[in-house]
């Protein structure tokens, strides 16, 4: 009976998956968890780093300490559920290789290993939350279903979402060691990169230990929902949640997790309006990536010498792969600056494409009310370029359509629509031609009869 139920569910999931990819932007219907588990669920939590491996560091914040607080809280939360066994790969501050972590998880018969991390970027510019999963079947599907559920929770908390992704090395196996080593021992594993420790927008979430602990509670809740756990002490039952996951199949890799290796395909800016007195500049930004969604942009007003901080791309959703392809960007350029504006569009793999440069004929007038930098009015040369790193007022609004990444099926669908239209047009032309032939024949016949009658 269970087998038949599973088959029906599997079939429905497949139907949902196809419907979801054919109807752009439509929310796909819920699906059962692909991963099957026994009566008792074994969860391994891996606090990232430890010992001499400190992880990333920002000010007084050391990653190995942050991950331990998050992992400990996650452990305590998950302990409250029934029929679950929870382990930590380590509880003390020690060196532990990625292989040792995977071996520990395999040793206790883990159903899943969750590796806890915090992020940092080279230019301290990135922000947001992401989940790294395996590129191997069926762990890719398992990771995607958990990652989607978890990042939705992170999104609700207000974090920017950077997607559920996988990264391969040159050998075509998982780039991240803990995932690769675990997969080699048949243990599903993933990495949760909660947020960036070196960016102001994410820093708000990790001001103190309570911030790290809060992430531990969110992680635990996602695990409870993914496995459909119950807790008699908490009086909760998440068994329904495990049937509301994103459709995925154990036999294939999830398209939304496949990483982009190329820069965005289109990025151009166009001047709509410029007020040289106030410095108010309106731009139209057009960009597209045919593989993954666009997630960030930044811009420069001094020909690429200085760049603004990264901003989230309008309409960007790294879970549904939607983004707006055209938007209006309003900038207020400080007085005395002759702008040379460039914009960069970033895709899901953090690869960017530079736009054309918009060079202005003259400088923005000085001594205006809306001058963003009043202290720059009194000094400097008339044509001095003020760095774009100085705060520039900007607003933007979407004027384009939401673009959804086309899948192979969708492209087929589009072609089919074009085919039907062409066929209908041909039919109409044929009917018109037929009508004229009939009309002409009738007319000729009438003339013949008329002539015969008049000859008599
Ligand atoms: Zn880390």
Same-domain status, 324 and 393: yes
Number of domains in the chain: 4
* Distance from Cα 189 to the centre of ligand 1, integer Å: 15
Q: If you write DSSP's letter for every residue of 129-188 in order, what string do you get?
A: EEEE--SSTTHHHHHHHHHHHHHHHHHHTT--EEEEE--B-TTSSBSSHHHHHHHHTT--
- Distance CA(84)–CA(151), nearest Å, equals 23
Same-domain status, 22 and 36: no
- Distance CA(16)–CA(144), nearest Å, equals 16
Residue 115 in domain: yes
* Distance from Cα 190 to the centre of ligand 1, integer Å: 12
- Distance CA(402)–CA(111), nearest Å, equals 38
Same-domain status, 13 and 128: no
Instruction: Find out whether 254 and 248 touch, Cβ atoms under 8 Å.
Output: yes
Same-domain status, 239 and 274: no
- Distance CA(180)–CA(105), nearest Å, equals 13
> pLDDT tens digit string along 399-411?
666 665 544 333 3
Query: In this predicted structure, what is the pLDDT of residue 13?
Result: 44
Same-domain status, 75 and 185: yes
* Distance from Cα 176 to the centre of ligand 1, integer Å: 11
Residue 450 in domain: no
Same-domain status, 88 and 217: yes
* Distance from Cα 62 to the centre of ligand 1, integer Å: 10
- Distance CA(179)–CA(102), nearest Å, equals 8
**Domain C-terminal end among 257, 287, 308:** 257
Q: How far is CA 432 from CA 37, 129, 422, 439, 455, in A?
A: 65, 60, 16, 11, 35
* Distance from Cα 333 to the centre of ligand 1, integer Å: 39
Same-domain status, 174 and 44: yes
Same-domain status, 58 and 94: yes
Residue 449 in domain: no
* Distance from Cα 128 to the centre of ligand 1, integer Å: 15
Residue 455 in domain: no
Residue 447 in domain: no
* Distance from Cα 98 to the centre of ligand 1, integer Å: 12
Residue 453 in domain: no
* Distance from Cα 379 to the centre of ligand 1, integer Å: 46
* Distance from Cα 314 to the centre of ligand 1, integer Å: 29
Residue 225 in domain: yes
Query: In this predicted structure, what is the pLDDT of residue 422?
Result: 60
CATH classification of the domain holding 320: 2.60.40.10
* Distance from Cα 63 to the centre of ligand 1, integer Å: 6
Same-domain status, 303 and 430: no
List CB contacts of 57: < 8 A, sequence separation 6 or more. 63, 120, 197
* Distance from Cα 304 to the centre of ligand 1, integer Å: 31
Which residue ranges in the chain fall short of pLDDT 50? 1-27, 368, 370-391, 406-419
* Distance from Cα 119 to the centre of ligand 1, integer Å: 6
The helix (H) or strand (E) run that includes residue 109 is: none
* Distance from Cα 56 to the centre of ligand 1, integer Å: 6
**Domain C-terminal end among 404, 423, 450:** 404
Query: In this predicted structure, what is the pLDDT of residue 248?
Result: 95
* Domain span at 14: 1-27
Residue 320 in domain: yes
* Distance from Cα 44 to the centre of ligand 1, integer Å: 17
- Distance CA(169)–CA(210), nearest Å, equals 36
Same-domain status, 110 and 172: yes
Same-domain status, 300 and 375: yes
Query: In this predicted structure, what is the pLDDT of residue 393?
Result: 66
- Distance CA(348)–CA(296), nearest Å, equals 9
Same-domain status, 275 and 245: no
Residue 196: count other Cβ atoms within 10 Å of its Cβ.
28
- Distance CA(200)–CA(14), nearest Å, equals 42
> pLDDT tens digit string along 254-266?
989 988 889 999 9
List CB contacts of 123: < 8 A, sequence separation 6 or more. none
**Domain C-terminal end among 257, 282, 299:** 257
CATH classification of the domain holding 198: 3.40.630.40
């Amino acid at each position: 009976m269970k087998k038949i139920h599973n088959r029906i569910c599997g079939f429905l999931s497949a139907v949902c998956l196809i419907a979801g990819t054919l109807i752009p932007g439509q929310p796909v219907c819920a699906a059962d968890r692909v991963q099957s588990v026994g009566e008792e669920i074994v969860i391994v939590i891996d606090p990232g780093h430890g010992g001499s491996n400190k992880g990333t560091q920002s000010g007084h914040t050391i990653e190995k300490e942050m991950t331990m607080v998050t992992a400990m809280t996650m452990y305590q939360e998950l302990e409250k559920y029934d029929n679950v066994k929870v382990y930590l790969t380590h509880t003390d501050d020690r060196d532990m290789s990625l292989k040792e972590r995977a071996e520990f998880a395999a040793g206790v018969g883990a159903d899943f290993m969750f590796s806890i991390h915090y992020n940092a970027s080279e230019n301290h510019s990135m922000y947001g939350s992401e989940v790294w999963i395996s590129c191997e079947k069926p762990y890719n599907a398992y990771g995607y279903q958990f990652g989607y559920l978890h990042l939705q929770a992170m999104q609700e908390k207000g974090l920017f979402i950077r997607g559920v992704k996988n990264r391969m090395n040159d050998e075509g196996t998982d780039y991240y060691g803990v995932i690769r080593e675990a997969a080699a021992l048949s243990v599903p594993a993933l990495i949760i990169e909660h947020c960036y420790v070196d960016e102001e927008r994410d820093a708000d979430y990790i001001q103190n230990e309570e911030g790290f602990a809060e992430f531990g509670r969110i992680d635990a809740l996602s695990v409870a929902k993914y496995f459909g756990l119950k807790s008699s002490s908490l009086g909760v039952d998440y068994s329904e949640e495990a049937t509301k996951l994103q459709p995925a199949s154990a036999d294939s890799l999830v398209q939304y997790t496949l990483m982009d290796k190329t820069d965005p395909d289109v990025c151009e800016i166009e001047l709509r309006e410029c007020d040289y007195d106030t410095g108010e500049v309106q731009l139209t930004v057009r960009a597209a990536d045919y593989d993954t969604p666009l997630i960030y942009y930044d811009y420069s007003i001094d020909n690429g010498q200085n760049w603004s901080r990264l901003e989230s791309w309008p309409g960007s959703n790294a879970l549904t792969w939607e983004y707006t392809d055209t938007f209006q960007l309003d900038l207020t350029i400080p007085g005395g600056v002759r702008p040379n504006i460039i914009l960069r569009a970033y895709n899901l793999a953090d690869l960017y494409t530079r736009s054309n440069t918009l060079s202005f004929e003259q400088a923005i007038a000085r001594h205006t009310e809306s001058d963003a930098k009043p202290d720059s009015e009194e000094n400097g040369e008339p044509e001095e370029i003020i760095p774009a790193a100085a705060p520039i007022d900007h607003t933007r609004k979407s004027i384009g359509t939401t673009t959804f990444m086309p899948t192979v099926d969708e492209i087929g669908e589009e072609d089919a629509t074009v085919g039907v239209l062409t066929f209908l047009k041909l039919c109409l032309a044929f009917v018109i031609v037929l009508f004229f032939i009939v009309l002409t024949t009738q007319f000729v016949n009438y003339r013949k009869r008329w002539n015969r009658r008049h000859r008599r």
